[in-house]
Amino acid sequence: MSELIKDIEILGQQEQPKEEQACETVRVSKTTSTGKSRKLYIESYGCQMNFSDSEIVTSIMEKEGFDTTSQFEEADVVFLNTCSIREKAEQTVRTRLSQFNSVKKSKPEMMIGVLGCMAERLKEKLLEEEKIVDLVVGPDAYRDLPNLVSKVDDGQKAVNTFLSKEETYADISPVRLNSNGVTAFISIMRGCDNMCSFCVVPFTRGRERSRSPHSIVKEAQELFDQGYKEVTLLGQNVDSYKWAEDLDENQKKAIEKSEAKDIVSFAKLLELVAEVSPELRVRFSTSHPKDITEDVLYAMKKHENICKYIHFPAQSGNTRVLKLMNRTYTREEYIDKIDSIRRILGDECGISSDMITGFCTETEEEHQETISLMEYVKYDFSYMFFYSERPGTLAEKKYEDDIPLEVKKRRLQEIISKQQELSHMRNQLDVGKVYKVLIEGYSKKSKDQLQGRNTANKVIVFDKKNYQKGQYANVLVTSCTGATLLGEIVE
């Protein structure tokens, strides 16, 4: 196992601030010393797709003669892989750039690059606004990094924000920065065609495209051969994964409109990955409520190693707001899908959501419908946000951002309290049950305890006995807190 795998450092996260529950994780490269001539520091923000992309970037840069470092002061090249999803995410990056400024004063040759969604959104403008930035690279242009870096070496500034219809980086073996050696991400698709009116992702990540099933299964097999026990298949909208082998573009378009059987759908892909080994767990994220099919649910039911957990973002519980959001489902249709999940996979399937409060024109009654949807579904967990208007999105163009910030925040606090109550209730239902847990490492508090997750994605902490990470253990849940289950191994 390489040092890099063990060395991922996570700053912040999970204990989310009350005001805005967000994916505020920052991930930082750690030190590798393989005698290469230059050092790269890479810091990643945003979603799992971005963390996964940083692994691809590191792979490309390693081949160009870079070791990685966890100390930006000692780096020759500093990359920030950025997120634009909410205004706050962009502010965080701006603040970070100003911190780099003082280091760059005493080390002017240090190259600073902005990668990812903010690079794509702002393009050349970023060079004007942030004078210390040398390099701006969008999410589909990472293969061009060697060329762009050498341009900066020659004293120029470099920008590539070309968005591709084909790029999936299928042939690049990611350097596993984000892993504990047990679990890993596999990107199966890129981009998003959904155009939710609040969301910047379709603009920063471009059109949806799927990676070949062959390259995905091969990557899962390689990970399993290296000792990994869990893969998470990643995409903004995994249920619209679609692949047809050996077809030209026109044929692919024709097939997209038909129900042809030779297409590899997401359900089929899940099965292919699950068949790598019964010892390899398979997870996936994110499912769009309009696209998830019963085939996916039946594939989950059929394979014990496909984890019974669905991240199923509702965004709102009110049909009028959902329509304004362009989510393309109603409250009733969402509830129908939840009922199908419960009917096919039972009550023990974990379900989580993303919710936005204070979207344009949302009334108190409509906000209450979000709360009543939460009560109906009884989510195990939710990521919750107040609406943040993003430049260039449909909502910014069409609707007024008219809910005062205090109201957005108060509503957010209300749904957070509701979720805490629901999480606690769902956790209490697990007390007394025995779960198969994949051990991911020591618990945060003690080296005498281990932690892992059950199939429903719940974290369980228990005394170590003679077990170690990477093993499966049967754990009896003996008690719980709001966020964690506590248990003991039963042999």
Q: Which residues make up each annotated binding site?
A: 47, 83, 117, 192, 196, 199
d(CA 53, CA 185): 10
Query: Residue 313 in contact with residue 354, Cβ under 8 Å?
Result: yes
Residue 427 binds to ligand SAH (criterion: CB under 6 A): no
> Segment contacting ligand SAH (CB under 6 A): 3-11, 294-302, 384-392, 457-465?
384-392
Q: Of 199, 196, 189, 74, give the one whose Cα is nearest residue 139.
A: 189
> Segment contacting ligand SF4 (CB under 6 A): 196-204, 255-263, 277-285, 374-382?
196-204
Name residue, tokens 């070791």.
Answer: 67
Provide, rounded to whole angstroms, the least separation between the CB of residue 201 and ligand SF4.
Answer: 4
d(CA 146, CA 144): 6
Q: Which residue is nearest to ligand F3S (CB)?
A: 46
| Annotated binding-site positions for [4Fe-4S] cluster | 47, 83, 117, 192, 196, 199
Q: Which of 138, 139, 181, 202 binds ligand SF4 (CB under 6 A)?
A: 202
Provide, rounded to whole angstroms, the least separation between the CB of residue 360 and ligand F3S.
Answer: 20
**Binding residues for ligand SF4 restricted to 232-261, rule: CB under 6 A:** 236-237
Considering only the C-alpha atoms of the chain, give the largest distance between any 2 of them, rounded to a whole number of Å.
65
Query: Residue 480 in contact with residue 428, Cβ under 8 Å?
Result: yes
Show the tokens assigned to 69. Answer: 């470092």
Torsion region of 264: left, alpha or beta (phi above 0 gives left; psi -120 to 50 gives alpha): beta
Nearer to ligand SAH, 175 or 199 (CB): 199
Q: Which long-range contacts (CB under 8 A, 24 or more apart) does 88-92 make?
A: 88/20, 88/22, 88/388, 89/22, 89/45, 89/46, 89/118, 90/118, 92/24, 92/45
d(CA 276, CA 15): 35
Angle between helices 48-63 and 145-153 (to 10 degrees): 60
Provide, rounded to whole angstroms, the least separation between the CB of residue 195 and ligand SF4.
Answer: 6
Residues contributing to the site for ligand F3S (CB under 6 A)? 46-47, 49-50, 83-85, 116-117, 200-201, 204-205
Q: How many residues bind ligand SF4 (CB under 6 A)?
A: 10
Which of ligand SF4, ligand SAH, ligand F3S, none sits in contact with 126, Cβ below 5 to 8 A by type?
none
Q: What are phi and psi of 136, to 5 degrees?
A: -130, 120
Provide, rounded to whole angstroms, the least separation between the CB of residue 385 and ligand F3S.
Answer: 11
DSSP state of 421: H
Query: Residue 371 in contact with residue 418, Cβ under 8 Å?
Result: yes
**Binding residues for ligand SAH restricted to 76-105, rule: CB under 6 A:** 85-86
Instruction: Give me the half-sphere count of Cα atoms (radius 13 Å) on the Cβ side of residue 444.
Output: 10
Q: Is 244 exposed, middle or buried (0-12, 13-18, 19+ CB in 10 A)?
A: middle
Torsion region of 46: left, alpha or beta (phi above 0 gives left; psi -120 to 50 gives alpha): left
Q: Which of 5, 126, 201, 307 binds ligand SF4 (CB under 6 A)?
A: 201
d(CA 150, CA 141): 15
Nearer to ligand SF4, 32 or 287 (CB): 287
Q: Which of 29, 52, 232, 315 binds ligand SAH (CB under 6 A)?
A: 315
Provide, rounded to whole angstroms, the least separation between the CB of residue 359 and ligand SAH.
Answer: 8
Which of ligand SAH, ligand F3S, ligand SF4, none sits in contact with 86, Cβ below 5 to 8 A by type?
ligand SAH
Tell me, residue by residue from 266 to 305, as one string, x for binding to ligand SF4 by CB under 6 A and - for no binding: ----------------------x-----------------
Q: Which residue is nearest to ligand SAH (CB)?
A: 354
Provide, rounded to whole angstroms, the least separation between the CB of residue 189 and ligand SF4.
Answer: 11
Alpha-carbon dihedral of residues 428, 341, 192, 284, nearest 10 degrees?
A: 60
**Binding residues for ligand SAH restricted to 228-247, rule: CB under 6 A:** 236-237
Q: Which of 135, 141, 196, 345 binds ligand SF4 (CB under 6 A)?
A: 196
Nearer to ligand SF4, 348 or 354 (CB): 354
Which of ligand F3S, ligand SAH, ligand SF4, none sits in contact with 289, Cβ below 5 to 8 A by type?
none
The DSSP code sequence of 429-491 is: HHTT-EEEEEEEEE-SS-TTEEEEE-TT--EEEEE-TT--TT-EEEEEEEEE-SS-EEEEE--
Nearer to ligand F3S, 47 or 220 (CB): 47
Q: Which of 41, 100, 198, 381 binds ligand SAH (CB under 6 A)?
A: 198
Torsion region of 392: left, alpha or beta (phi above 0 gives left; psi -120 to 50 gives alpha): left
Tell me, residue by residue from 156 to 195, as one string, x for binding to ligand SF4 by CB under 6 A and - for no binding: ------------------------------------x-xx
Could you list the residues that contact ligand SAH (CB under 6 A)? 85-86, 198-199, 201, 236-237, 286, 288, 313, 315, 354, 356, 385, 387-388, 390
Could you list the residues that contact ligand SF4 (CB under 6 A)? 192, 194-196, 199, 201-202, 236-237, 288
